[in-house]
Amino acid sequence: MEKVLTLSEAISKYVHSGDNICFGGFTTNRKPYAAAREILRQGLTDFIVYAGPAGGDWDMMIGEGRVKAYINCYTADSGVTNVSRRYRKAYEEGKLIMEDYSQDAVMMMLHAASLGLPFLPVRLMMGSSLVDMWGISKEVRKTIPKLPEDKFVYIDNPFNPGEKVVALPVPKLDTAIIHVQKAAPDGTCSIEGDEFHDVDIAVAAKNVIVTCEELVSNEQIRLDPTKNSIPPFCVSAVVHAPFGAHPSQCYNYYDYDNPMLKEYGEASKTEEDFKAFVDKYVYGPKTHEDYLDLVGASRLVGLYNVPGYGYATKELKK
């Protein structure tokens, strides 16, 4: 089945306001930025967000007021900002409803979702404020139907009575969006480098949008199935979006655009500068292709990874 759509078609068909949603990638690596910018352009909002290790992707969404509830473990463009500024501001001012879990907990909750488990027992978070403090109270949770009523519950290990463990809810994802190096029209995906939690959310979510650096034929991607990690039937839409992770990095393809991440980090310090940034880079360009034109070809090719390194090393230019 042919699943190739334009970015605009894929987002309007498979992302809905109010969805339980999760993005792939890790802070500044393989974040589906092109899709995030298109979601902003289409005005979609009220998301229940299962943010894995997030960065500017979710910081922008929060800054634009699109997040109804934020399930989080980490938000920063690590190495660029110590904490994402719109996220910090929104929470400090009481404008963001959020729940803290440890990163391990979030990653295992998403993995549990991929396994179809009813709940998830862990030894994590005990003895910490992650269990003592609830960001979203039971009362508030009852008003958000897509959130479980409890952050967690303590249970007794049925196989070792007396041992207390933490039972975590398993998210029911409506939508997952991931950016990969190669995808075929039928939805088969090949991820190079660390897959992070991307395969888990691709299996768990009802609708999965894949943006890709290279669109390759169904025959080509099957030449070496050991390199593939997502089968066709887990994917709803395939979008060809070269540099779709920009300004984050993409293993074997391009590095992060550190000046751009810095520009965002600076701009996001104030509401005015943040608005100017998103007006310029998100709402200004009408399509992903317009965005690439705006950023500029020489800037983008300057980010190309050096074969054998996996990033844009300066070593060879010495």
Partner 1 sequence: MADYTNYTNKEMQAVTIAKVIENGQIVIVGTGLPLIGASLAKRVFAPGCQLIVESGLMDCSPIEVPRSVGDNRFMAHCAVQWPNVRFIGFEANEWLHDNDRLIAFIGGAQIDPYGNVNSTSIGDYHHPKTRFTGSGGANGIATFANTVIMMQHEKRRFMDKIDYITSPGYIDGPDGRAKMGLPTNRGPQMVVTDRGIMKFDEKTKRMYLAGYYPTSSPEDVIEHTGFEIDVSRAVALDAPDPEVIRMIREEIDPGQAFIQVPKD
Contact residues toward partner 1 (CB under 8 A) are 25-29, 53, 72-76, 78-80, 82-84, 87-88, 91-92, 94, 100-105, 107-108, 111, 123-130, 132-133, 135, 163-165, 193-197, 199-200, 249, 251, 255, 305, 309-311, 313-315
* Residue 137 C-beta: closest distance to partner 1, Å: 10
| Angle at the Cα of 211 from the Cα atoms of 46 and 110, rounded to 5 degrees | 55
* Residue 219 C-beta: closest distance to partner 1, Å: 27
Whether 135 and 70 have beta carbons less than 8 Å apart is answered as no
- Name which of 53 and 242 has its Cβ closer to partner 1: 53
Residue 179: count other Cβ atoms within 10 Å of its Cβ: 31
Secondary structure of the chain: what % helix, strand, coil (to 5)?
35, 20, 45
* Residue 217 C-beta: closest distance to partner 1, Å: 26
* Residue 60 C-beta: closest distance to partner 1, Å: 16
- Name which of 114 and 186 has its Cβ closer to partner 1: 114
* Residue 1 C-beta: closest distance to partner 1, Å: 27
Whether 58 and 91 have beta carbons less than 8 Å apart is answered as no
Extended strands (E) in the chain: 20-23, 47-50, 67-72, 98-100, 119-122, 153-156, 164-169, 175-183, 189-190, 207-215, 237-240
- Name which of 18 and 121 has its Cβ closer to partner 1: 121
- Name which of 19 and 59 has its Cβ closer to partner 1: 59
